Amino acid sequence: MRPENYQARSQPPSNEFELNFGPNHPGIEGNYAFRVKLNGDQVLEARADAGYLHRGFEKLMEGRLWIQNIALVPRICVPDPVPMEVCYSLAIEEIGGLEVPERAKWIRVMQLEMSRLAAHLFAFGGHAATTGMYTTMFWGVADRDLILDRFEELTGGRVYSIYNIPGGVRRDVPEGFLDRLSSLLDYLESRLPDYDNLFFTNQVFVKRARGVGAMTQEQALKWGVTGPNLRATGLEFDVRRDDPYLVYDQLDFEIPTESGGDALARNLVRRAELKQSIRILRQVIERLPSIEGPIRCPIPNPLAWNVPAGEAYTRVESSKGELAYYVVSTGGDKPYRVHVRGPSSMHAVQVLEKLALGARLEDIAQIMFSLDACPPEVDR
């Protein structure tokens, strides 16, 4: 523009301004953006801006053989990939009428709880970082790595295990694995008081998190909140117990709840779940050696496998909430349609937008991490 043509545009005086929060921001999980309108540092309006991690998984799955998708689904949620594999496999098993051997079911439960532990360590580690307590994050990540070591041993992969296939699991449990898992659990349990001292009872955290991003149970149900976020509002609902899958009905565990409904309560629920997951894993370690038999039922040649026509909706309790797969088969060698009902799409979009209203700018990151929303799962 030529300088002589420049005229300053006059605007009414205002304290309001817009801020782009993300998509690359240390206070955001993954690549996710938030456009906020602020008055000073108070949020007046918040718009979630998803889609930076959209890879079209649901569409991709329609073009791939049933078995090829097992390598794809764990990528939908990086921190907690196992429920993706298990839930997808459960759906195909339901449509195809496959009888999963008992041993495979126990191995699946073991993985699911290991994954929950790893995901929770990652989640509150992240939350701690948003309040400036990086030690907790380093500890969380370091301890999660020990679980990943066990995943590497069991499944051959550290993060994406690609270990569950329709009909069962791909390899049997290595020799001595349960002993090593058991000593890992001992170690993790011994770490819990440290985490309590460092983070959960730390006033820096407690005072920052209390009352932030609070919702009532009624609101939570209306907004489609599930998992630890829902349990933090006092509702004792868990798919593992209320709609049991695999062998959860044979296991003894509690469903921790809190009543606050805020960022603090959500983290305390996760903290209590660590203990419950360890409890479940100890029961699996005790029972698994006595359950013999195959680890997979016979399945056809994957290159010529027509899953019978039909549809299934299967759900599991992931670390982030209720994860479900809706799979439709028209009797072909590929899925006709797969829909992933991820918990994070509710938490990161509609819930976060509402909880951010009236909050302060520095709490947005805290709210997002306390909801444990996972942007790759939102975008898929």
Partner 1 sequence: MSDIPYKDKGSILRPFKSLQFFARPAVTQPLEPRPASDNYRGFHVNDWKKCIGCSTCQKVCDNAAITMVRVPGLPEDPVKGIRNERPAIDYGRCCWCGLCVDICPTGSISLTTEYVHTCREDELDSYFVLPDPNGIHGEHFPKGWDKTADADLVDLERQPMGELPGEERIDSFDEIVEGYTEQQAIVEASRCVQCGMCHDACPTHMHAPEYIRAIWEGDVEEAVRQMYRTNPFSHVCGRVCTHRCESACSIGRRGEPVAIRWLKRYAMDAVPDLRIREIAAEGKVDYISGRRIAIVGAGPAGLTAAYDLIRKGHKVTVFEALDKPGGMTRYGIPEYRLPYDRLDADVAVITSLGVQIQYNTRVGRDVTMDELRRDHDAVLIAIGLQLGRSTRIPGSDHPQVRRAVDLLRMITRGESFEVPERAVVIGGGNVAMDIARSLARLQKQQFGKVQITVCALEDFEHFLADPEEVTEAREEGIEILDSRGPKEVVIEDGRLTGLKTLGVISIFDEQGRFAPRYDQQDEQFHPGDMVIESIGQMSDVSLLGEELTERLEWNRGRLKVDEDGHSSEPWLWAAGDMVFGPDVVHAVADGHRVAASMERYLAELDSEKQDDGRTS
In the complex, the residues that contact partner 1 under the rule CB under 8 A are 64-65, 67-72, 138-139, 142, 145, 149, 152-157, 160, 162, 170-172, 174, 196-197, 200-203, 206, 256-258, 268-269, 271-272, 275, 294-296, 298-305
Beta carbon nearer to partner 1, 336 or 341: 336
Beta carbon nearer to partner 1, 169 or 340: 169
Beta bridge partners of 200: none
Beta carbon nearer to partner 1, 51 or 174: 174
Q: How far is the CB of 331 from partner 1 (least distance, A)?
A: 10
State CA 161 to chain mean position distance.
15
- Among left, alpha and beta (phi > 0; psi -120 to 50; other), residue 224 is left
Q: How far is the CB of 48 from partner 1 (least distance, A)?
A: 29
Beta carbon nearer to partner 1, 15 or 301: 301
Beta carbon nearer to partner 1, 45 or 333: 333
CB 256 within 8 A of CB 85: no
State CA 321 to chain mean position distance.
7
- In terms of C-beta density within 10 A (0-12 exposed, 13-18 middle, 19 or more buried), how is residue 147 classed? buried
User: Of 380, 365, 323, whose CA–CA distance to 55 is shortest?
Assistant: 380
Q: How far is the CB of 96 from partner 1 (least distance, A)?
A: 13
- Among left, alpha and beta (phi > 0; psi -120 to 50; other), residue 138 is alpha
Q: How far is the CB of 224 from partner 1 (least distance, A)?
A: 23
Beta carbon nearer to partner 1, 221 or 299: 299
The values of phi and psi at residue 89, to 5°, are -65, -40
Q: How far is the CB of 236 from partner 1 (least distance, A)?
A: 9
* 3-state class (DSSP) for residue 209: helix
- Interatomic CA distance for residues 360 and 380, integer angstroms: 29
Q: Which helix (H) or strand (E) holds 258?
A: none
- Interatomic CA distance for residues 162 and 322, integer angstroms: 21
Q: How far is the CB of 64 from partner 1 (least distance, A)?
A: 6
Q: How far is the CB of 61 from partner 1 (least distance, A)?
A: 10
Beta carbon nearer to partner 1, 44 or 198: 198
